[in-house]
């Protein structure tokens, strides 16, 4: 799949989001920086790709930890200016980890600073190409996506993957997330997109088919909101397991009890305490071949 020569994509997997480097004649920009435990790998990937050039600007689609966990190390090494969605600016300036979702999900992010914000409707020059900033709530209330009309390329973050999208987190604590996710899919459908660079997974071109799958997935989840909660529990535990690779089964319940969002989900959707929720989640991951249990140790798999 051929992209414009200025666009370089690092496909990172599921613990770290994909990174997009955009090479211009006079500067280099980057979209999203991965998870904190991969920060040295991120730095080395970027340094190798730059061939002695400097990373000037760093943009985030949203501030989930797997998309901004490398911000601090890139700032420290390159002194790059960093831009985030406007609604998150005060949270970062005051480093409110609860409001930023890091504490709520039991995840980590090194503190970083910001030099400016991006707002929906803004136009940016990255890699000598014009990109439009578009609001994309649903997975995250303040997420943005980046669209290049001339190349028909969309950096879709977690609003659209080849097979679905990210957990609809806003729906877990209040109403409206499903409607916002649907509106974002409608927005994408209205663009002339040939190539999608998702937040996770491979770059793809079957955009219409991906949108159809995403809409079916959204219909399935919205028909019974508990399904989105079940998906969230499995995803959050799998993320913790990807980060740690193994943990005693006996520690999973106390770990979930320490994560505010898990406590909310367990009470609101399952009527379970943290130990019961842990037992359910472990069973689901093992059944899906995403984890295994050996000698009372939960191990990452798949």
CB 105 within 8 A of CB 259: yes
pLDDT at residue 173 in the model = 80
Alpha carbons 232 and 247: distance in angstroms, whole number: 19
Which of these, 180, 184, 124, 183, lies nearest to 159 by C-alpha position?
Answer: 184
At residue 21, the 3 state secondary structure works out as: strand
Domains annotated on the chain, with CATH: 7-223 (3.60.15.10), 225-300 (1.10.10)
Quote the mean pLDDT of the chain: 96
Token pair, residue 301, equals 């798999």
Q: Is the pLDDT of residue 58 over 90?
A: yes
Place of tokens 């943005």: 144
Report whether 228 contacts 171 (CB < 8 A).
yes
Question: What pLDDT was estimated at residue 263?
Answer: 92
d(CA 21, CA 24): 10
DSSP labels for 46-87? Answer: HHHHHTT--EEEEE-S---HHHHTTHHHHHHHH--EEEEEGG
- Distance in angstroms (rounded) separating the CA atoms of residues 91 and 112: 11
At 93-103, the pLDDT tens digits run: 999 998 998 98
Which pLDDT tens digit goes with each residue over 192-208?
999 999 999 999 999 99
Per-residue pLDDT tens over the stretch 70-127? 999 999 999 999 999 999 999 999 999 989 989 889 999 999 999 999 999 999 999 9
Closest CA to 140 of 193, 71, 80, 68: 68
Q: What is the pLDDT, as a whole number, of residue 302?
A: 80
Strand, coil or helix: 160: coil
Residue 149: CB atoms within 10 Å: 15
Full-model pTM: 0.96
């Amino acid at each position: 799949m051929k992209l414009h020569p200025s666009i370089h994509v690092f496909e990172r997997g599921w613990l770290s989001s994909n990174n997009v480097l955009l090479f211009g004649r006079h500067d280099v920009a980057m979209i999203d920086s991965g998870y904190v435990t991969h920060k040295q790998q991120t730095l080395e990937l970027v340094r190798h790709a730059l061939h002695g050039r400097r990373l000037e600007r760093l943009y985030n689609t949203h501030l989930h930890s797997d998309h901004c966990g490398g911000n601090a190390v890139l700032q420290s090494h390159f002194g790059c200016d960093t831009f985030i969605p406007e609604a998150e600016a005060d949270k970062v300036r005051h480093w409110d980890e609860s409001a930023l979702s890091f504490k709520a999900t039991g995840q980590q992010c090194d503190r970083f600073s910001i030099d400016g914000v991006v707002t929906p409707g803004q136009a940016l020059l990255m890699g000598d190409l014009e990109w439009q900033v578009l609001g994309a709530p649903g997975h995250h209330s303040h997420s943005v996506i980046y669209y290049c009309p001339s190349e028909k390329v969309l950096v879709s973050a977690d609003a659209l993957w080849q097979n679905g999208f990210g957990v609809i987190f806003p729906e877990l604590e209040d109403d409206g997330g499903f409607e916002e996710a649907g509106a974002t899919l409608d927005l994408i459908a209205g663009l002339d997109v040939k190539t999608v660079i998702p937040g996770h997974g491979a770059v793809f071109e079957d955009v219409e088919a991906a949108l159809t799958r995403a809409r079916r997935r959204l219909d399935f989840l919205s028909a019974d909101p508990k399904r989105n909660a079940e998906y969230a529990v499995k995803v959050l535990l799998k993320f913790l397991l990807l980060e740690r690779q193994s943990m005693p089964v006996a520690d999973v319940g106390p770990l979930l009890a320490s994560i505010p969002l898990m406590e909310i989900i367990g009470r609101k959707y399952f009527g379970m305490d943290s130990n019961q929720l842990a037992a359910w989640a472990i069973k689901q991951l093992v059944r899906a071949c995403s984890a295994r249990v050996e000698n009372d140790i939960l191990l990452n798999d798949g």
